[in-house]
Structure 1
């Protein structure tokens, strides 16, 4: 018996989990001892682009690109392989990943999710379903994954809302281009009492605001949130209202805040960011990914001044990062504010907009270092440049 075969079963399963599922299956021919190892691995990953099938050369088009017929045949074999694996699999499935393009194959995905929900052992579910049109409509079996702790949904739609459901163990939720109603999203978040990490990368084009939900309603669903990544345009999905100076719900657990497509001149920029910061007393990391386009004709929704936000304090902030920094007056003043109001800040990273050259980046760094040294001498790492 070889050395690898003498390894503990748990170690062998870990090794097999690192292999593509087809390669893991091929280990069954190594020996009798290896014949059934792969059907017990708890992590299953199916990626359509990496799925290999043996085909006749005659099926290839002249341009060496898959024909519709060949693509359909490959899709059929892909689903057949998934079903075969699920049928012979023994033991719990803790992690399940499916990455593919969606067309009229949704019924096959429905069957897969139904099978997994009946096992009720999945702790990490990832559905990356590339569909630029309607998106994959999540079936009712989706609400049966009560043991799931991590969920990643790409290009999915969620428009039905069962009267009663809950994801009691879910701590991490990643939503990208998910199509739903504002009230359904609020209902989903409310059903996750243990949620600590949320990435909400959708906007008004996918989240339909018809239920009268507000941003305040959104944050009331996140009492335990520790990590929050959200697009600025998500704000447009909710009922327009003047945000309070501070949110009614204090996000005492929030340690990391990431804002994508942020813009100080956008009408929802500062009115959304500032109350959120005021309501996050224990924030440790702040990252702003600025809108990476030029805004020469953008309406001025009010200039940023230090006096307007003199009450803000970043008591626990130790890292600030701004990506696509545009060197506008508002952006520079905001950095100065953070430097002045962050007594434990250690690291500042400024990634300039593509239109800013090295000389301009050096000038920005000079301004920050010279102007803010008296109030930010504790900062040990401040850099401006491409990284």
Structure 2
């Protein structure tokens, strides 16, 4: 019994390697990480050397008065940073309470001397909305030359004239930011190592992307066009159309073949919108090694339609007679409703000789779905062994 008692009283957690302690601290809300100081002498100051700092609304003390809660939150972050000792590799701030950028500037000033590698700033504030300018991003952020990941949400982004870009940045995400076309294009081209770019924006931009090392592209919004001028290494592309815009035909003007592009995902596709159909068609034609295709149809048709309507046979008529999806293995087509939608299903089945699985989601009740299912089963299949899966419901725009 004495041996059992001795074993039970041993502080196993405190004797774990320092790297495990650091991992444990990163999994806790930051206030709880600080509270581990009371566990034992070995834990007392370990929070001071945490390399990943995450401040969000969970870090707030519960207060009925939001102004008091905000002040305590701001004071807590500043005290923590001033007592911190060592590098800070990741700093994430996601708090709806903050309405001023003064405090953020002070925090960024501290971490500017900490070899920051990853920065996430999401401070929408209680008045934020798509057409409401966000807080101005502190200019000191443009001096963080060692960043390899940057995510900004709900800020107004305006770099100083002397800003040349981020030489080490590989991941860039901008969500709901207020930014000009020139700034975003210069920002992208100023990141020579950029591998992933995610952009969600409501402004009608004709965006040109020059990123020779880009591999993953995710865009969502009301763009007028997306001009992929220098992106030869793109492996995966995800585009979510919004109901308006996308009026351009820039892809037809670009003699580019995306040899590395393996996966294409399109959200909120309208098979009756001529401009969107032509955009997607030429993207498919320029992707000879495509292996995965996922397209989700529109949520609802505009009333009245604001676009030029595509003909039913446009996919076959505009496509070269000898074109096939030579490497397409899987296809997922969601939210199939109209005859225009069904024509695209027919096009994919008839042009994919190596297709292994196609999943088709029909927006219809069980009894009503029987007829379109039978219609699809009658379509010619270039791949005789293709597995056809029919699903009720649909995948919406992400």
For normalisation by structure 2, the TM-score amounts to 0.80
In structure 2, the residue matched to 1:41 is: 50
Secondary structure, counterpart of 2:95 in structure 1: strand
Give the distance between the partners of 1:31 and 1:380, measured in 2 at CA: 60
Give the distance between the partners of 2:196 and 2:249, measured in 1 at CA: 26
* Residues 267 and 152 (structure 1), Cα distance of their counterparts in 2 relative to 1, 3 Å cut: farther
Give the distance between the partners of 1:245 and 1:46, measured in 2 at CA: 46
Deviation (angstroms), 1:121: 2.5
Is the CA contact 1:195–1:222 (under 8 Å) kept in the aligned structure 2? no
In structure 2, the residue matched to 1:115 is: 110
Is the CA contact 2:99–2:135 (under 8 Å) kept in the aligned structure 1? no
In structure 1, the residue matched to 2:73 is: 78
The answer for unaligned runs of 5 or more in structure 1 is 56-65
Summarize the alignment of residues 1-387 of structure 1 with structure 2, pairs less than 5 Å apart: 1-48=10-57, 50-53=58-61, 55=63, 66=64, 70-101=65-96, 104-122=99-117, 124-130=118-124, 131-132=128-129, 133-160=132-159, 162-204=161-203, 207=205, 215=225, 218-233=227-242, 236=245, 241-245=248-252, 247-298=254-305, 299-305=307-313, 306-311=315-320, 312-323=323-334, 325-353=335-363, 356-372=364-380, 374-380=381-387, 382-386=389-393
Deviation (angstroms), 1:71: 0.6
Give the distance between the partners of 2:198 and 2:243, measured in 1 at CA: 11
Secondary structure, counterpart of 1:125 in structure 2: strand
Higher gyration radius (CA): 2
* Residues 204 and 143 (structure 1), Cα distance of their counterparts in 2 relative to 1, 3 Å cut: same
Stretches of 4+ aligned residues off by more than 4 angstroms: 213-216
* Residues 297 and 51 (structure 1), Cα distance of their counterparts in 2 relative to 1, 3 Å cut: same
If each structure's helix is expressed as a fraction of its own residues, which one has the higher value? 1
Secondary structure, counterpart of 2:259 in structure 1: coil
For normalisation by structure 1, the TM-score amounts to 0.82
Question: What are the Cα deviations for residues 158-194 of structure 1, in whole angstroms up to 9, with x where unaligned?
Answer: 2345344222333332222222112221111112222
Deviates more, 1:92-101 or 1:254-263: 254-263
Deviates more, 1:83-92 or 1:10-19: 83-92
* Residues 118 and 345 (structure 1), Cα distance of their counterparts in 2 relative to 1, 3 Å cut: farther
CA RMSD of aligned residues (A): 2.9
Give the distance between the partners of 1:214 and 1:161, measured in 2 at CA: 27
